[in-house]
Structure 1
Amino acid sequence: MPGRHVTDHQMRLFMQYRRTDTVAVAAAKASLSPATGYRLARDPRLPSMKKGVRGRRRPDPLGDLFETEIVPLIQAAPGLRPVAIFEEILRRHPELGAGIRRTLERRIRAWRALHGAEQDVIFRQTHEPGRTGLSDFTDMADLGVTVAGQPLEHRLYHFRLAYSGFEHAHVVLGGESFVALAEGLQNALWSLGGVPREHRTDSLSAAFRNLDQPAEDDLTRRYEALCAHYGMTPTRNNAGLAHENGAVEGPHGHLKRAIADALLLRATSAFPDLPAYRAFIDELVGRRNARNAKRIDSERAVLQPLPPRRSCDYEEVSVRVTSAGGFRVRKVFYTVPSRLIGHRLRVRLYDDRLDVLIGGTHLFTLPRGRARPNGQHDQVVDYRHVIHALRRKPMALLNLVYRDRLFPREAYRQAFEAMRAALPERQACRLTVDLLALAHERGCEAELAACLAADHAAGRLPDIAALRARFAPDPAAIPHVTVALGSLSHYEDLLGAAATGAA
């Protein structure tokens, strides 16, 4: 047709119809004019075969510059970006102008396709059901999650089955460590109800960081023992090659985007406590697994059975309670009841808590602390552990190393600062200790904090006598017991009856 180029498809149709029809009829059936049909009959080549090589329509803006200056730059630094080469060429030859950028980029791309270095190839894999489970950690700081009004610095441990896409996420408060990996992995396996034949992680470089060789060897042995307990073959990808762990690295982004969307739908990223945030993550991951329920069930059928019990998912250290009423672990000082001073305790370190045992008896659980980002030591203090001793020596509060950690709520610290500014230091310390003792003895920590906050907002000091009266035991709540004493004759009657029976 006029104004339209003949295509290879039309040419093939024309040649096919030409075998049985005249030129005019074959041209009409191929949507060609008779004149075009006679022209094609004389030259049966396809139109694509007749196109000549397009020549340059304007002078080369780079000229000999590409071979003399640009190619040596690419060869000397293969990773150099085209925009950097462009800026360098403009610095050397400002007369060329910014219009050469696209030409330069196309020329560099073509040169690298012909003469560039060989690149790494990613080999897509066919995943076998029940074979591979993968673990990795991902940082969640950019989501801005807060717990009890404080930013939550945390990571997610992420487990995934390569075949079915089953996922499990576990909130990790510390860094990447064997404890976090062991706890998260075992939670995932027991939630799944089976064990894959192979477990793959990254190089665990974060867990090995700052460890000496004996500690690295010990960590490697513990990881291998964990996998052996579940009958899994441990494998790792090479350091710095995240795509070798691609079956979990890619879903990291999908999971984080899903969490970000859920936080937006929730209209806030603030949570009252850590269990509420963990429940939020579990619910989200559960909904994602529900979409793959059929595929997960089919893979679950070929998984290995779970062992009779979980393996060790904690580190155990032995500590001695010092005269300061506590012990130190990993640059953190923890207070304990003073009756334990001088005793040696067994401490099991989990990612978010410490279980304290004496011998084989579990005593209590403490929240796990972390050293400060600058490397300084920190403290985890429970004022109930030291309040009885502090009442005997209230002035110790003034320069106490962990004074700021001693106050269970901000209102107590504000009250201390207000009394310290208005009263002598000895009196301020004694009144503050009395407030802490009142909170402990009467079990009114939160209610007392509310009263102290109200006093602080009103600009008045706490009245310890009024607070003691307010939080004193309610006389109406104490039952009145009337004891009726029997007469001595009743006892004589009992003794006489006993004597008669004996006779």
Structure 2
Amino acid sequence: MPGKRITDHQVLKYKQHRNKLPQVAAAAKAGISERSARRIEDAGQLPSQRPARSWRTRSDPLAEVWEAEVVPLLRADAQLNAVTLLEELQRRHPGQYGGAVLRTLQRRVRQWRAVHGAERDVYFAQEHPPGRLGLSDFTVADDLQVKIDGVAFDHRLYQFALAHSGWRHAVVLTEGESFAALSGGLQAALWRLGGVPEEHRTDSLSAAFNNLAEAQELTRRYEGLCQHYGMRASRCNPSQSHENGSIESRHDSLKTALDQALRLRGTRRFDERADYEAFVETIVQRFNARAVTRLAVERTMLRPLPARRTAEYEEFPARVSKYAIFTVKGVQYSAPSQLIGHRLTVRQYAQHIECWLGGQCVLERSRATHRDGQRHPRNIDYRHLVAALRRKPGAFARWVLRDAVFPRDIYRRTWERLSAALAEREACKTIVGLLSLAADGHEAQLAEELEQLIELDQLPDLNALSALLKPPIVELPAVSVQLPPLQDYDVLIEVSP
């Protein structure tokens, strides 16, 4: 066939069939042309026995410029590619070198680099003894396009894995690669694993390493975390992700498995975040089921856990202002009005915050995240403020926190329609009344009613909605109790022994 050399095997097969078949049939059986068959019969040796060809079959289009111009350019900078070199030759020699020379130039450059090029990186496959190395890393999972309650869920995945057995643990995160996220995910993984590896490796996380220092320097909190569990901390070199390959490859396999499972599920929507976290846990456990045998060996080599976990949070002081708002690291949270004026101790975890007052946890909230380019995110719970709004509904129209107080997008759209169609005072009373109904436990049902009203192009009637959402009155059955006369008890006493 054109472009392919005839092998010794084809020649021998042709000669075998030629003893019984005509030349054309034998050539077809051997997979060669009739012309090649005639050359084989005239030749007295196999193709591998022929002397190597030392001549060219066509003229070299680069003969005049290769050594004189191209090689000096490659020696000056070996990273120049063939396209750049061809464009330079076309500028120097107009009309002499067309695009058909590119493939020849590419082969010649590749051959030159193989002999005279710079040394390339060599990768050294590593053997991971059981119980020695555990790895942590974060990966962005926005490309999974998961939605929670109809809203795009931008998130990361923290993953811990053992290099020997491949056992892994994953946590869904909505904030950045903070120390709280690293500490919480790592400790959850170690306690589920039931042991501690000798070494813990990450990339150059700012939560773990002071990257501004010239030498490798651990942050104070990360150093304390590793000392608490008796692990040696290490990291890969900056911008060398292949040195952390045992965890990087598992990011790819996990996200691929999640994507395939979501496709099989038929939808990427989840009602609550807990449902998605359970979904991720299911996929992770499928991976861990494959590592049961190797994990049984590695578990015996792990170090024991300490007596307790170390702190997984950061503490910050915060004072609740007269607006029923307190601020933690630039993020605003609402609080019940009873806490106005009190100074709280806020414990910030990876996923939530806890507010402590005098040794008692008085408030727990999910952490706010930066979305839609917000510089200072807000986490405002309308239930904390609706009672005060009912007393001052007119304040709602130009309230600074107005846009952050709506529990769902349908409430915001309803306010826009109310403010456009009604007087300001009436619109404020109506939306505050709707928020009050939602706070009474009717948020989801009321949202459905408001959706229907928008489809019908009608404004909400607060009295009608209140009557609709009012719990039904259950009439108790009339019970008639007949008391016996007291003389009957005297009879019982007389007859009793």
- Counterpart for residue 108 of structure 2: 107
- Counterpart for residue 486 of structure 1: none
Aligned mates of 2:78, 2:291 — CA distance in 1? 44
Using the TM superposition, name which of 412-421 and 389-398 deviates more: 412-421
User: Are 2:55 and 1:55 equivalent residues in the alignment?
Assistant: yes
Superposition map of 1:481-496 within 5 A? none
Using the TM superposition, name which of 234-243 and 184-193 deviates more: 184-193
Could you report, residue by residue, the CA deviation over 1:247-277 in whole angstroms, capped at 9, with x for unpaired residues? 1112222222222211121122222211111
Residue 387 of structure 1 and its aligned partner are, at CA, apart by 1.4
- Counterpart for residue 164 of structure 1: 165
Question: CA separation of 1:200/1:142 partners in 2, compared to 1, >3 Å: closer, same or farther?
Answer: same
Aligned mates of 1:422, 1:4 — CA distance in 2? 86
Alignment gaps of 5+ in structure 1: 11-35, 41-45, 484-503
- Counterpart for residue 493 of structure 2: none
Residue 130 of structure 1 and its aligned partner are, at CA, apart by 0.4
Residue 467 of structure 1 and its aligned partner are, at CA, apart by 2.8
Residue 285 of structure 1 and its aligned partner are, at CA, apart by 1.0
Residue 162 of structure 1 and its aligned partner are, at CA, apart by 0.8
Q: 8 Å contact 2:179–2:207 — kept in the other structure?
A: no
What code does the residue aligned with 2:62 have?
Answer: L
The SS at the match of 1:351 is coil
TM-score (norm 2): 0.81
The SS at the match of 2:119 is coil
Superposition map of 1:15-30 within 5 A? none
Superposition map of 1:305-316 within 5 A? 305-316=304-315
- Counterpart for residue 401 of structure 1: 400
Question: CA separation of 1:247/1:469 partners in 2, compared to 1, >3 Å: closer, same or farther?
Answer: closer
The SS at the match of 1:96 is coil
Residue 348 of structure 1 and its aligned partner are, at CA, apart by 1.7
Question: CA separation of 1:390/1:4 partners in 2, compared to 1, >3 Å: closer, same or farther?
Answer: closer
Aligned mates of 1:406, 1:189 — CA distance in 2? 39
Aligned mates of 2:458, 2:61 — CA distance in 1? 81
Aligned mates of 1:396, 1:165 — CA distance in 2? 58
Question: CA separation of 1:258/1:87 partners in 2, compared to 1, >3 Å: closer, same or farther?
Answer: farther
Q: 8 Å contact 1:331–1:371 — kept in the other structure?
A: no
The SS at the match of 2:364 is strand
Aligned mates of 2:90, 2:479 — CA distance in 1? 101
Question: CA separation of 1:5/1:470 partners in 2, compared to 1, >3 Å: closer, same or farther?
Answer: closer
Residue 205 of structure 1 and its aligned partner are, at CA, apart by 4.8
Between Structure 1 and Structure 2, which shows a larger proportion of helix residues?
Answer: 1
Could you report, residue by residue, the CA deviation over 1:435-456 in whole angstroms, capped at 9, with x for unpaired residues? 222333x432222333333333
Aligned mates of 1:212, 1:319 — CA distance in 2? 30
Question: CA separation of 1:205/1:114 partners in 2, compared to 1, >3 Å: closer, same or farther?
Answer: farther
- Counterpart for residue 238 of structure 1: 237
Aligned mates of 1:383, 1:417 — CA distance in 2? 17
Aligned mates of 1:472, 1:49 — CA distance in 2? 98
- Counterpart for residue 333 of structure 1: 332
Aligned mates of 1:180, 1:361 — CA distance in 2? 24
Question: CA separation of 1:399/1:212 partners in 2, compared to 1, >3 Å: closer, same or farther?
Answer: farther
What code does the residue aligned with 2:82 have?
Answer: P
Residue 49 of structure 1 and its aligned partner are, at CA, apart by 8.2
Question: CA separation of 1:372/1:206 partners in 2, compared to 1, >3 Å: closer, same or farther?
Answer: farther
The SS at the match of 1:316 is strand
What code does the residue aligned with 1:59 have?
Answer: S
Could you report, residue by residue, the CA deviation over 1:157-182 in whole angstroms, capped at 9, with x for unpaired residues? 12111111111111121122211111
Superposition map of 1:93-172 within 5 A? 93=93, 94-172=95-173
Aligned mates of 2:152, 2:207 — CA distance in 1? 23
Using the TM superposition, name which of 173-182 and 238-247 deviates more: 173-182
Could you report, residue by residue, the CA deviation over 1:340-397 in whole angstroms, capped at 9, with x for unpaired residues? 1111111122222212211321122112112345352221111111112212221211
What code does the residue aligned with 1:273 have?
Answer: E
Aligned mates of 1:155, 1:58 — CA distance in 2? 58
User: Are 2:457 and 1:443 equivalent residues in the alignment?
Assistant: no
Q: 8 Å contact 1:319–1:345 — kept in the other structure?
A: yes
What code does the residue aligned with 1:222 have?
Answer: R
What code does the residue aligned with 2:112 have?
Answer: W
- Counterpart for residue 490 of structure 1: none
The SS at the match of 2:80 is coil
Aligned mates of 1:375, 1:71 — CA distance in 2? 54
Aligned mates of 1:331, 1:461 — CA distance in 2? 38
Q: 8 Å contact 2:207–2:219 — kept in the other structure?
A: no
Could you report, residue by residue, the CA deviation over 1:189-248 in whole angstroms, capped at 9, with x for unpaired residues? 112111110001111158879x998xx98x711111111111110000110011111111
Q: 8 Å contact 1:332–1:371 — kept in the other structure?
A: no
The SS at the match of 2:345 is strand
Using the TM superposition, name which of 170-179 and 466-475 deviates more: 466-475
Question: CA separation of 1:356/1:86 partners in 2, compared to 1, >3 Å: closer, same or farther?
Answer: farther
Q: 8 Å contact 1:348–1:354 — kept in the other structure?
A: yes
Aligned mates of 2:74, 2:340 — CA distance in 1? 69
Q: 8 Å contact 2:351–2:367 — kept in the other structure?
A: yes
Using the TM superposition, name which of 364-373 and 132-141 deviates more: 364-373
Aligned mates of 1:348, 1:479 — CA distance in 2? 52
- Counterpart for residue 70 of structure 1: 70
- Counterpart for residue 461 of structure 1: 459
Superposition map of 1:33-52 within 5 A? 51-52=51-52
- Counterpart for residue 255 of structure 1: 254
Alignment gaps of 5+ in structure 2: 13-40, 482-497
Superposition map of 1:275-354 within 5 A? 275-354=274-353
Aligned mates of 1:477, 1:409 — CA distance in 2? 35
How many positions carry a matched residue from both structures? 443
Q: 8 Å contact 1:129–1:299 — kept in the other structure?
A: yes
Q: CA RMSD in A?
A: 3.1
TM-score (norm 1): 0.80
Question: CA separation of 1:136/1:430 partners in 2, compared to 1, >3 Å: closer, same or farther?
Answer: same
Aligned mates of 2:248, 2:451 — CA distance in 1? 48
Q: 8 Å contact 1:331–1:370 — kept in the other structure?
A: no
Aligned mates of 1:139, 1:223 — CA distance in 2? 22
Question: CA separation of 1:238/1:48 partners in 2, compared to 1, >3 Å: closer, same or farther?
Answer: same
Aligned mates of 1:289, 1:302 — CA distance in 2? 18
